[in-house]
Structures are given as C-alpha cells and as structure tokens.
C-alpha cells in the first residue's frame, strides 16, 4: 500500500522557518541564539555600573543562550561507555520529559557527564534552558523551564542513573561570543 503525501511530509522537513528574512536549509536556531547573548551583553553595558560591566564580560565569556548543556554528577557510575550524541532523557521541575545528548564520549565508570539540551526548529522556543552567565546579570534573564531538575534520574541507553547538579550554576554554553571571537583568529 502506497504512503499518502501527508504521511511522507510528516516524516521529512520541507523547510525551516525564516530567521530575520533568511531561509535556512538546516536547523540553525541554536546558532542564531547567539544574538540573545549579544542583546544581554548590550543591556548590561547600557547600565554603566561596575557590576553590570562584570556581568557583560561574563556573558561575553560564558554565554547563556547558545548550545546549552548541563554538567551532571551521576550518583552511580556509568555501567558502560556512551558515545557523543547518545540520547539522554530526564525530567524538569514540572515532571515534563527533557531530552538531550551526550556532549562527548564517556567511558564506563564515569560519574560526571555533560548533556547538551535538544533544540527545536522554532526560534522563539528553540531551547528552554538558558542559563550560563545570565544569572550574574541579576536581571531575570535566565530560563530554567527546560532544564533538568536539580536531582532525579537520567535514562541513558535504557539504564536509569540518579544524578544531581545546580541548575543555576551547572547549566553552561558551548557556544559563546568569546568563542566566535577567539575562534576566528585560528581560521
């Protein structure tokens, strides 16, 4: 029996939403979120206080919106190795499932892992865990709705592992304005 056109469309991405008039051919929402770091940095500079200048510098160095990941401490060591990109599932404070992937390869016996949060194709809600240096601005810029709860269980390759971490300290960003600036020198 032939699949309907609607069924085929449901299983493939026909196009991605425009971002500032640009029609991307792949998911770039997480990359585009660096603009939110720029806006946060600029808002801190505009305050013109010593504390806000320090917050702006930290946002420049640590980010808050792009390539968000959690540094998790497992209560039980990994029972086997997991590869970079392995799917990891947990819950947020509301009990909603949060998904991510291993940011690196981890060997059996490891007790600290980094989990990059999954992103969506919609820029307005691309990721709901935005922390990094944002709490240092003391302006309520951070968003923890889509972060893992402070403790619970993560499901990795079918095995559940108890974990703990501090959502306002241990959610970081692997993409920052500083990284773009210093990375350009290497290219």
DSSP string, 119-147: --S-GGGS-S-B-TTGGGG-SS--B-TTS
Residue 70 scores a pLDDT above 70: yes
Span 133-153, pLDDT tens digits:
888 888 888 999 999 999 999
Q: What is the rounded average pLDDT of the residues 158-182?
A: 93
Q: Which residue has the higher pLDDT, 16 or 99?
A: 99
Which H or E run contains 53? Answer: helix 50-62
The rounded mean pLDDT for the chain is 85
The pLDDT assigned to 109 comes to 98
pTM of structure: 0.82
For 156, the 3-state DSSP assignment is strand
Please report, rounded to a whole number, the percentage of residues in the chain having pLDDT higher than 90: 61
């Amino acid at each position: 029996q032939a699949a309907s056109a609607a069924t085929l469309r449901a299983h493939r991405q026909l196009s991605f939403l425009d971002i500032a008039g640009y029609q991307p051919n792949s998911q770039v929402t997480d990359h585009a979120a660096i603009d939110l770091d720029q806006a946060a940095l600029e808002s801190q500079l505009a305050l013109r206080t010593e504390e806000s200048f320090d917050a702006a510098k930290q946002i420049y160095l640590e980010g808050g919106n792009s390539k968000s990941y959690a540094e998790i401490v497992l209560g039980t060591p990994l029972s086997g190795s997991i590869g970079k990109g392995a799917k990891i599932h947990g819950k947020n404070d509301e009990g909603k499932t949060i998904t991510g992937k291993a940011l690196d390869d981890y060997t059996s016996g490891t007790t600290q892992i980094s989990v990059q949060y999954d992103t969506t194709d919609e820029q307005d809600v691309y990721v709901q865990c935005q922390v990094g240096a944002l709490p240092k601005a003391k302006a309520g810029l951070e968003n923890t709705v889509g972060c893992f709860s402070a403790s619970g269980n993560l499901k990795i390759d079918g095995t559940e592992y108890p974990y703990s971490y501090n959502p306002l300290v241990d959610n970081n960003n692997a993409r920052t304005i500083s990284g773009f600036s210093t990375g350009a020198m290497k290219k």
